[in-house]
Amino acid sequence: MSPPAFPPQLHVFVRDWLSANNIVLKSRDGNVLIDTGYTRHAPLTLALLKSPRGLGAEPLAWIVNTHCHADHIGGNAGIAHMYECPIAVPQGEVPLVERWDGKALLYDYCDQRADRFSVDAGIVPGSSRVWGDLEWRALAAPGHAMGGLVFYNPEHRILISGDALWENGFGFVMPREVDPAALPAARATLDMLSELDIRIVIPGHGEPFTDVAAAIERAWRRQEAFEADSLRVARHALKVNFTFVLLDRQSMPLAELPGYLDRIGLYRDFNAQFFRLPPAALAELIVGELERAGAVRRENGLVVPAAATAG
């Protein structure tokens, strides 16, 4: 199957599960980069941006973020400094970034690294922007990130979905006991997306895809499963976050995991609320389920990702 067709001024750099995809929109009126990946891979993001498929030697007018989780903003500070360009984020997340709320943005609370940056503009849901000579509608997409946005171009029927919709699911959502609004918001976002005329989705992670109806159906099924079982939501959140941190660190000593899980806020709080396990038992639950799923493996007293990651 041939890859989906994009307008020539739009280019997608597909990354991995540590760094979100980067979208470059080129225009004589100013080039735009949507999402900058994770801090660990910021040098690669910059190299891609400077490559012939990116901007080459051209300037960058704006950095834009779909939302402000660490895997989407990790290159913001360095790239903004390099190009002397402003940064725009969803309006609802402006105060979180301004006070650098490490819990609400899931940075230190989840043991995710992020380089601090300054916000120059907030993007209001319902507003429109012209990037790459194309009109993009900013649509509220709460759930995974309560202030998150997606960007929709009706002319070419392209959706830049961030983590609101992937080909197989969406970004993790907080259990109702932690945030009663999150799961209902995620459902409302899926309902909204199902009503758009979308030809192609550029997700935050994974290849762009065109079978949008099937992806939304899969997302609805995951949503229904989460709504039926808060423990499933909690386990999923812990496993996703642990896998992410492991991709960043590349290995963690098994003997140190109980202390680590008792120290980091997300695991400590979720354990107290949902599992009530000794830290060693929680570590075995997380590692064991990820091992059985083929996501991690144990090796010489370490837990490591099952496969090496690129950028």
Q: Where residue 268 sits, what CATH number does that domain have?
A: 1.10.10.10
Q: Indicate if 69 and 177 belong to the same structural domain.
A: yes
310 belongs to a structural domain = no
Residue 244: φ, ψ to 5°: -60, -50
Q: Indicate if 125 and 236 belong to the same structural domain.
A: no
3 belongs to a structural domain = no
Residues in Cβ contact with 265 at an 8 Å cutoff, skipping those fewer than 6 apart: 103, 108, 109, 110
- 29 lies in which domain range? 10-228
Q: Indicate if 30 and 148 belong to the same structural domain.
A: yes
The CA distances from residue 27 to 58, 134, 160, 281, in Å, are: 10, 9, 18, 54
* Beta strands across the sheet bearing 302-305: 252-253, 302-305, 296-299
183 belongs to a structural domain = yes
Q: Indicate if 63 and 166 belong to the same structural domain.
A: yes
Note the pLDDT of residue 307: 72
Q: Indicate if 17 and 31 belong to the same structural domain.
A: yes
Q: Indicate if 188 and 293 belong to the same structural domain.
A: no
181 belongs to a structural domain = yes
Residue 227: φ, ψ to 5°: -65, -25
Q: Indicate if 148 and 236 belong to the same structural domain.
A: no
Q: Indicate if 31 and 87 belong to the same structural domain.
A: yes
Q: Indicate if 132 and 239 belong to the same structural domain.
A: no
Note the pLDDT of residue 5: 82
Q: Indicate if 14 and 82 belong to the same structural domain.
A: yes
1 belongs to a structural domain = no
Residues of the chain with pLDDT under 70: 1-3, 308-311
Per DSSP, the three-state class of 138 is strand
Note the pLDDT of residue 2: 56
CA distance 86 to 222: 37
2 belongs to a structural domain = no
